[in-house]
Amino acid sequence: MNHKPTPPGEYDCCESACEPCVWDVYYEELRAWNEAEKQRKLAEAAKDEEPSDSPLR
């Protein structure tokens, strides 16, 4: 996932206690996106810390 999820629109939630609610889906997608961003940033930081003479560069 490379784009941040967008919250449901003003009238997307019917407030009928659906299972799952559009907000439940949004918050789960947002959690997954945040975790993916965290992992991506850690990978970038690790890549930046590699010695310049590393064969991986």
Q: Which residue has the higher pLDDT, 25 or 55?
A: 25
Contact by Cβ (8 Å): 4, 25: no
Give the tens place of pLDDT for each residue, 7-21.
999 999 999 999 999
Mean pLDDT, the chain, integer: 90
pLDDT for 6 equals: 97
Q: Is residue 55 over pLDDT 80? A: no
